Structure 1
């Protein structure tokens, strides 16, 4: 029998004395870790929550031991976030998009107190088999939150940077969920950490393939320039009282999930030939942005934006050190009005995306870092689609010694759009995002339409 994606999961039963703290297995540096302006954006004050399903479980003691070992190198994850002034009153809510702190609160700079307090680790059991979960794994739903321990914390700052829950299943399989504070690292960093943990689980006496580099001083402003940096298109100083994204979030959101194989990507690329050559990301981002705007039925004159993360680890001179464990991306921004986006050819949209990408050079990246020193500058989420690429980080290759995962996804779906890897087809991409219930079928219709 086909199971419905929104089916409620059974409850998790926690082992006694759970959750517990896992501290680094040997002494680690004790200091305040400076966060760069790229780490310390309001936009990133939430946790990246991953879910992995494995056919076979591992002994819990082995996972705890290897976690305590990997936290020696990744010691900031065992620390605690602190505000540079201690009078923080940040809002915290379990909803992903509500987890961002209240916009009107203090604009304090955050730092990490590397005190070795430890990561939160919970062990649970769920009366379900791996195959049963696989049948409902197409789209996340609210009941998946049971799979990650909930920390009773008054504010976002009080939640430890790393939460882990291992849920053993009836069949001998397991679900691993992790929440990693986005202020400490981006998707590349998260993948680097998870793969390091898996590596030490398999080979406890080995050294890590990549040594994490924690210092963020590569992005520390030496002396602010005399001129005011131009406000980059992805940011704004004047947040409108009422935004399209707030409108969307106030409605009942339902996830849409679509898989693009190389042949469907080729159909999209063929629409742009001979005018333009493009990457898979560029064509898929352009098609998704246009489908999103078409499905929302917006005013033709409204200016809409596409914001997408661009890895800058190899873009800057001098280069960022190998293993840089922090946020090493900036948001590129393409913008146009609804009429031109919906009415024009797909290759024109691709050109906007390519121009947004190529405008990110040393000067503009340094300008963004300087701009973010002003805490009243916010990411412009008014009529913007935000796309985050998770499909090229090796997240789907995570192997603790019992084989690669049967499934990998975020724990929750949000109005941000994710490009995810597809287990078993390294060339396919899954597009996942949430939309108001009455919009989803229109969005899926446009996303499956390969004619221009």
Structure 2
């Protein structure tokens, strides 16, 4: 579904700079920010059924960049080989488009959200991933629809924000667009040294998420590579409350107070394994993000919008997961992996990334899940323009 084939760009994007002077300094990234895994931008798409004032959005962006001034800077190399943000107020990239052949209802009710299309790139011109250095870490495009509705797209460098941090920024932008007082809202916390490595670094765990001690045999490598030879297609599925409760009930006799995430993650992990049909003795992993803001000691400061998560790793043989009893087996593994993430584990992860700058997650036979259920997007959609949806 080529929804953006006729998107018109009548003018070049412009740089939006902070509306007031901002601190000019170099912001050091944490090891969690600077890991190879995150050197890309996360793209957000919002569809408003009503009219959105583009000038008001641009003006509000200029105001909110005063507080979130690193998003108006540029990523670059630091003296010690790590990347830093040059807070130079150069600005975020802001573009406009016009898509007369599409209405908000067609976008929202059709298959566009379920099956993203490459043509969506035209709804966010300037976010092409030629490099993550020296380019605006924030790119925005506002596209007017023929019905009077609006599509708002934003790309935010993952090196600067995780999902919670991006939501914090987008909420602040929305408040600025509505001229809400910011007195009772949390100010962004910029300093990343709260997650600095220890001296000397100490890796105290195996960290199977990074495959430090995982050296598969030739047969295992062959079995793994054969799993991913077929084409992949994006799909969107909806689990109702009744579906989730049914999954939790399946685990109830063996796992007390099973959470929705544990039940869903276990179910999806098992479905993934069963669909691939790997050898029963092949070890497979589930990697998922865990918010560490309240798991480290002391907790991360309020308003911290950098990357405040680490990867948890559950591991099992494919045969154990596919077995009839695999549901509660998988859920127990998910809970154990989640509960392992404490202050010691986080500090060990930070130290690992200090010693191994090129560390990447083990994706050889792994499913990766990221939970976005508590980002608070619903409260952001209550601004002018009516109902809204989002995708990433």
Q: What's the TM-score once normalised by structure 2's chain length?
A: 0.91
Residue 393 of structure 1 aligns with which residue? 375
Q: Deviations over 1:157-177 (max 9, x none)?
A: 133110001000011100011
Residue 37 of structure 2 aligns with which residue? 43
Q: Does the Cα contact within 8 Å between 1:229 and 1:371 map onto a contact in 2?
A: no
Residue 96 of structure 2 aligns with which residue? 123
Residue 339 of structure 2 aligns with which residue? 358
Residue 28 of structure 2 aligns with which residue? 34
Q: Does the Cα contact within 8 Å between 1:199 and 1:208 map onto a contact in 2?
A: no
Shift of 1:85: 5.7
Q: Secondary structure at the match of 1:13?
A: coil
Take 1:330 and 1:49, find their aligned partners in 2: how far apart are those partners?
20
The structure whose residues are more often strand, as a share, is 1
The structure whose residues are more often helix, as a share, is 2
Residues 351, 172 of structure 1: CA spacing in aligned structure 2 closer, same or farther, 3 A cutoff?
Answer: same
TM alignment of 1:44-443, pairs within 5 A: 44-84=38-78, 108-127=81-100, 128-134=102-108, 135-136=110-111, 137-151=113-127, 154-203=130-179, 206-207=182-183, 209-225=185-201, 228-237=203-212, 251-276=230-255, 277-343=257-323, 344-373=325-354, 374-399=356-381, 401-403=383-385, 405-410=387-392
Q: Does the Cα contact within 8 Å between 2:145 and 2:151 map onto a contact in 1?
A: yes
How many equivalent residue pairs?
Answer: 382
Take 2:87 and 2:222, find their aligned partners in 1: how far apart are those partners?
38
Q: Secondary structure at the match of 2:148?
A: coil
Take 1:56 and 1:399, find their aligned partners in 2: how far apart are those partners?
12
Residues 40, 239 of structure 1: CA spacing in aligned structure 2 closer, same or farther, 3 A cutoff?
Answer: farther
Q: Which moved more, 1:77-86 or 1:50-59?
A: 77-86
Structure 1 portions without partners, runs of 5+: 1-5, 87-107, 411-452
Take 2:32 and 2:195, find their aligned partners in 1: how far apart are those partners?
8
Shift of 1:150: 3.0
RMSD between superposed Cα atoms in Å: 2.3
Residues 60, 284 of structure 1: CA spacing in aligned structure 2 closer, same or farther, 3 A cutoff?
Answer: same
Residues 248, 160 of structure 1: CA spacing in aligned structure 2 closer, same or farther, 3 A cutoff?
Answer: farther
Q: Secondary structure at the match of 2:51?
A: coil
Take 1:245 and 1:72, find their aligned partners in 2: how far apart are those partners?
48
**Which structure 1 residue ranges, 4+ long, deviate > 6 Å from structure 2?**
238-250
Q: Secondary structure at the match of 1:295?
A: helix
Residues 129, 352 of structure 1: CA spacing in aligned structure 2 closer, same or farther, 3 A cutoff?
Answer: same
Take 2:361 and 2:347, find their aligned partners in 1: how far apart are those partners?
16
